[in-house]
Chains A and B, each alone.
Chain A
Amino acid sequence: MRSKFPNRWLPLVILLPTLAVCALFLYYPVAQSFSWSLYRAAFMGLKRLYVGTQNYVRLFTSPDYVHTIGVSFLFAGGVVFLGLSVSLAIALLANQKVRGARIYRVSLIWPYALSPAVAGTIWLFLLNPTSGVVNYFFETLFGVKPDWLTSGRLALLSVTVAAVWKNLGYNIVFFLAGLQNVPGEILEAARVDGAGAWRTFWKITFPLLSPTTFFLFIMNIIYAFFGVFGLIDVMTKGGPVNATNILIYNLYRDAFQHNKWGMAAAQSVILFVFVVILTLIQFRTTGRRVHYGG
């Protein structure tokens, strides 16, 4: 038994601010999302009408929303797959004991501090059809000038690449931390036994890294669902033809551009259910906690 301070009221007093903020600005609005989702509303809620489950029915029967769900998963899949594989490869290299490893490390992870909007702005310019540098390279090398942001599939690819780039630093930090926990003796033993680098990686390093990989898997999904709003808003605004209209962008559009608050609340509820499912999976599998940025 850990020894405690005896006060009975002090702990509650010092917990109060945290609890109050949680209750008022987190629990209460989430609960309200549920109730708003049963209404049709306009003018910032100045007018509203009870419609039962109509918003949900409409969402799930709307080809547009189903498409948006598909795009979100495609985008998340791209961010996870590209992001994790590239950053794992980089982390493996950066984990080598070479001179200047610390400097390399910093020079590889600093994009963590960039915002999605900054990443979006820079990539918007890189991909600019008239004065962007990407099309200059493409024209020089392949003789083509693709419409990066105005053709559907390419636009999704473009925002995926930008989103992956922005998140590389974050992934590398965790992979590096994970790699430090891989005991050097085991690797050395494997080498002595004559296992090749490739085999050593797949048989030893990768399994030992799996908790980190799984953690990053979840974090990258969360990032792809919630963290890239600024990037999408700056680069494509969800277009063309909704090709990059991920769930959160659609939610924003319905809530604050079309003023359809009931419909937007229903989408919030759907996202909430999604987060709860992800968290349960996470909890069941590793018991680790996840920070959604809040």
Chain B
Amino acid sequence: MAARMSPYKLRKRAFVVFTHASLIVLSFVIAFPILFALIKSTQTPAQVFSYPPKFSIGPGAAENYSVAWREYNLGRLMLNTTVVAFAVTIGKTLLSLLAALALVYFDFPFKGLIFVFILVTLMMPIPVRIVPLFDLVRKLGWGNSFWALTIPFLASATGTFLFRQHFMSIPASLVDAARVDGVGPMRFLWQILVPMSMNTVGALAVIEFVYIWNQYLWPLIIISSNKNQMIQIGLKMLTGAGPQGMVNWGVAMAGTVITMLPPLIIFILLQEQFMRGFALAEEK
């Protein structure tokens, strides 16, 4: 076979093999920590602590996952986090769609200024306002509540920006047509703009869902009761056994797997939109 190939083709074939091999190795290397976590989450404490480490699947999976789920309350935290993540993702998408609609399809005074006002909030990540924000949310009586985790996050400069960019790329004739047909702005948004913006919606949904699901610092300080806590903090409890007991790494790894699954699923489901939505954002 090879003898009949030109040197160029041979080199190309070798390159393809090399590419496949390195991509497979790289995928494995990147996945290794997770695979290791998966394997360890199935082992009994004795197997987890054995040295040299065992790399085989053990019989402790049911036990580990149920301990993480029940005793460490991850089930409850999972529900809380799901509700918060969906509420914020939906809320943010709605608010930024509305804001972009106002900014693109209406005329009103100080429009440019208002857009800048929203954009500047990109420079205000939580750490630059954490103490007063904590204080404010507490004073509002939202400490330790669902509201603390959702309301302050509903405005989205990113979302407003993305939708504004996208709307501006939609032909103006559509609005005229809509107006001639007597379609009001809200119906215009729902029936025309939103269906045309699904990539942006998808990309934004992924970013926001992952962002909220993975939030750590804010729930750590603002949520004080276990039953209202977010899942990432539950994870901290699994490894920080404190002055009592020992870290059961099998359970901790089971908890890790549980914690990472939902955003991973959302990401894999929406990754096409995510990539395309970003390609749009990249243009400008």
Interface residues of A (CB under 8 A from B): 2-5, 7-8, 10-12, 14-15, 17-19, 21-22, 24-30, 32-33, 36, 44-45, 90, 93-94, 96, 98, 100, 104, 106-119, 121-126, 128, 130-133, 136, 140, 165, 168, 173-174, 176-178, 180-181, 212, 222, 226, 229-230, 233-234, 248, 251-252, 255-256, 261, 264-265, 268-269, 271-272, 275-276, 279, 287-294
- Neighbour of B16 across the interface among A98, A131, A291, CB < 8 A: A98
Q: Chain A interface secondary structure, helix, strand, loop or mixed?
A: helix
* A4: nearest chain-B partner, CB-CB: B107
Give bound CA distance, A96 to B17, whole Å: 12
Q: Which residues of B contact A32 (CB under 8 A)?
A: 129, 131-132, 135-136
Q: Which of B132, B154, B176, B207 gathers most chain A CB within 10 Å?
A: B132
- Neighbour of A290 across the interface among B26, B122, B210, CB < 8 A: B122
Q: Which residues of A contact B264 (CB under 8 A)?
A: 110, 113-114
Contacts A93-B26, A126-B36, A289-B119 given: A29-B136 contact, CB under 8 Å? yes
Q: Which of B104, B127, B176, B268 gathers most chain A CB within 10 Å?
A: B127
Whether the Cβ atoms of A136 and B51 lie closer than 8 Å is: yes
Chain A nearest CB from B110 CB (Å) reads: 10
Can you report 11 residue pairs joining A to B where beta carbons are below 8 Å apart?
A5-B106, A7-B106, A21-B154, A104-B27, A107-B31, A114-B214, A121-B235, A121-B256, A125-B253, A265-B131, A293-B125
Contacts A33-B131, A93-B22 given: A294-B126 contact, CB under 8 Å? yes
Whether the Cβ atoms of B279 and A177 lie closer than 8 Å is: yes
- Neighbour of A3 across the interface among B175, B236, B238, B267, CB < 8 A: B175
Give bound CA distance, A29 to B135, whole Å: 9
Q: Which residues of B contact A21 (CB under 8 A)?
A: 95, 151-152, 154-155
Whether the Cβ atoms of A22 and B268 lie closer than 8 Å is: no
* A292: nearest chain-B partner, CB-CB: B125
Whether the Cβ atoms of A126 and B211 lie closer than 8 Å is: no
Q: Is B73 an interface residue (CB 8 A)?
A: no
Chain B nearest CB from A280 CB (Å) reads: 10
Whether the Cβ atoms of B123 and A256 lie closer than 8 Å is: no
- Neighbour of B122 across the interface among A12, A178, A255, A292, CB < 8 A: A292
Give bound CA distance, A177 to B279, whole Å: 6
Contacts A18-B160, A21-B152, A268-B131 given: A294-B235 contact, CB under 8 Å? no
Q: Is B266 an interface residue (CB 8 A)?
A: yes
Chain A nearest CB from B185 CB (Å) reads: 5
Whether the Cβ atoms of A3 and B179 lie closer than 8 Å is: yes
Chain B nearest CB from A130 CB (Å) reads: 7
Give bound CA distance, A45 to B216, whole Å: 23
Contacts A118-B256, A291-B122 given: A36-B161 contact, CB under 8 Å? no
Chain B nearest CB from A278 CB (Å) reads: 9
Contacts A121-B235, A234-B236 given: A115-B216 contact, CB under 8 Å? yes
Whether the Cβ atoms of B155 and A3 lie closer than 8 Å is: no
Whether the Cβ atoms of A177 and B275 lie closer than 8 Å is: yes
Chain A nearest CB from B36 CB (Å) reads: 6
Per-residue contact bits, chain B 105-131, to A (CB 8 Å; 1 contact, 0 not): 111100000100111011111111111
- Neighbour of A136 across the interface among B52, B128, B152, CB < 8 A: B52
Q: Which residues of A contact B123 (CB under 8 A)?
A: 272, 275-276, 279, 292
Q: Which of A44, A124, A230, A252 gathers most chain B CB within 10 Å?
A: A230
* A266: nearest chain-B partner, CB-CB: B131
Q: Which residues of A contact B217 (CB under 8 A)?
A: 229-230, 248, 252
Q: Which residues of B contact A265 (CB under 8 A)?
A: 131-132
